[in-house]
Amino acid sequence: MKYVRPWTIAATVIAAVLLVAAVSHSVYEITSPVWFEWHVVLRKIYSVGAFTLVAYALRRALVENGRTSVVLPCILWLAAYSAAIEVLQFAYGSEEGLGWNTIDTLCGALGGALATIDLWSRRSATTP
């Protein structure tokens, strides 16, 4: 039996919990108060934070599983994860248009980038 990989488990659990939250009408109502004019911007900020958390756990899981290159996989996986959330939200009745779906998917990619930004600075510091 292989040893337990805690970051792999954490990444899976965090991604699953946030996926459920993303398609929950109750969570949407709580995080989008209609009295607050900028509630959409607030939700995008929440989403980037959540995607960064998922991406950080993914980054650690990739390293834990022997990957040496994690920047691009984190960005691409989080964009795909975000796109999957958009599909599920549509299935659960969301009526956002393709423009918002695209912005939300880009928020996922941004979260992936933010979770690996320290690796970018190290790479650029060592590149002549």
CA angle (98, 76, 70) in 5-degree steps: 160
- Each residue's pLDDT expressed in tens, for the chain with a length of 128 residues: 467 899 999 999 999 999 999 999 888 888 777 788 888 888 899 999 999 999 999 999 999 999 999 999 999 999 999 999 999 999 988 888 899 999 999 999 999 999 999 987 665 544 44
Q: What is the DSSP string of 35-52?
A: TSTTHHHHHHHHHHHHHH
**Alpha-carbon distances, residue 121 vs 66, 76, 118, 124 (angstroms):** 22, 19, 5, 5
pTM above 0.95, yes or no: no
User: For residue 40, what are its two tokens?
Assistant: 């959409």
Give the start-to-end residue ranges of the domains of the chain: 6-44+52-123
According to DSSP, residue 128 is labeled -
| Amino acid 2: pLDDT | 67
